[in-house]
Amino acid sequence: MEGFIDIHSHILPQLDDGSSSMEQTLRMLKIAYDDGIRTMIATPHAHDGRGACDKEVMEQKLKDVKEAIKDTYPGMKLYLGSEIYYSHDSIKKLNDKKYPAMADTKYVLVEFSPMAEFRYIKNGLQEFILDGFNPIVAHVERYYYVVKDLERVDELIQMGACIQVNAASITGEFGKEYQGITKKLIKNNFIHFLSTDAHSDGNRAPRLKKCVDYLTKKYGEEYISEILIHNAEKLLLNQYI
């Protein structure tokens, strides 16, 4: 099975704590391609204290990577987004075009501190929604005060937020706690996107095969298609999920 769309990755070189060079980026893209990924949204950290926030630099890096792979992986599509670390000026920076939204749509990938209070996260997401954006909660399994009560996850979904989890959390590479949480989210049908959140070609490589094999055996190909293809296609078309 292939044709997967990875909406969360740090593949652009020398921007954040992701890829450190074009050479590493190319190795990451080979891993992704071999694991069936055919579309990726590069989401460098948009956080004043964690790397580049210059949209023009991000756009140029993306162009450079596209040029580097045009002959090697002609079927690989790359888009620009960002992983926005929520703050009270996030909306302004989005509207001022300082932070890229996801693939030039109204979708935005939003990150919070792992120990942020639920009310803070909910209020932050509500700000995006009220301003016309469609927030995606990045790696929700990390937010203690959200996942300690799965009704809170459902509350965020009912409010209009989408939920993303990391593939490595499902396969246990981030520990049994995250693995248990993500499995509960799956059983409750609380996941819209499954992503690699790749940062390197090593421990945090853009690998999906192990996770896909597990989920296919447990839930079938239709479920995989929903969280790795169909929902992401709707995102790229700026359609409601």
Tell me, what CATH number does 169's domain have?
Answer: 3.20.20.140
Per-residue pLDDT for 184 more than 90? yes
Domain assignment present for 173: yes
Domain assignment present for 197: yes
pLDDT tens, position by position, 2-61: 899 999 999 999 999 999 999 999 999 999 999 999 999 999 999 866 555 689 999 999
Domain assignment present for 201: yes
pLDDT tens, position by position, 95-132: 999 999 999 999 999 999 999 999 999 999 999 999 99
The structure's pTM equals: 0.96
Side by side, the strands of the sheet bearing 45-46 are 45-46, 83-85, 107-111, 134-137, 162-166, 193-195
Q: Which amino acid, residue 151?
A: E
Question: On the CB side of 133, how many CA atoms lie within 13 Å of its CA?
Answer: 26
Average the pLDDT over each of 42-51, 90-99, 147-156 and give the range with the smallest value. 42-51
- pLDDT at residue 54, as a whole number: 84
Mean pLDDT of 188-201: 97
Mean pLDDT of 220-234: 97
For residues 233 and 164, give the distance between their C-alpha atoms in angstroms, rounded to a whole number.
Answer: 15
For residues 11 and 198, give the distance between their C-alpha atoms in angstroms, rounded to a whole number.
Answer: 7
Q: Please list, in sequence order, all residues whose beta carbon lies within 8 angstroms of the beta carbon of residue 178, skipping any fewer than 6 positions away.
A: 141, 142, 169, 172
For residues 229 and 216, give the distance between their C-alpha atoms in angstroms, rounded to a whole number.
Answer: 14
Domain assignment present for 50: yes
Domain assignment present for 95: yes
Q: What is the mean pLDDT of the chain?
A: 95
Domain assignment present for 64: yes
Tally of structural domains, the chain: 1
Domain assignment present for 241: no
Mean pLDDT of 201-208: 95
Domain assignment present for 150: yes
Our CA angle for 115, 119, 123, nearest 5°, is 115
For 76, the domain range is: 4-236
Question: Which DSSP string do the residues of 71-131 spell out, in sequence order?
Answer: TT-TT-EEEE--EEE--TTHHHHHHTTSS--GGGSSEEEEE--TT--HHHHHHHHHHHHHT
Q: What percent of the chain has pLDDT over 90?
A: 93
Report the candidate in 186, 234, 181, 235 with the shortest Cα–Cα distance to residue 212. 186
Structure-block tokens of residue 56: 């023009």
pLDDT band for position 147 (cuts 50, 70, 90): very high
Three-state secondary-structure class, residue 58: helix
Enumerate long-range contacts of 85-94, CB under 8 Å, 24 or more apart.
Answer: 85/45, 85/46, 85/47, 85/50, 85/111, 85/112, 86/110, 86/111, 86/112, 86/121, 86/124, 87/48, 90/124, 90/127, 90/128, 91/127, 91/128, 91/131, 91/133, 93/46, 93/53, 94/131, 94/133
- pLDDT at residue 49, as a whole number: 61
Place of tokens 């055996």: 217
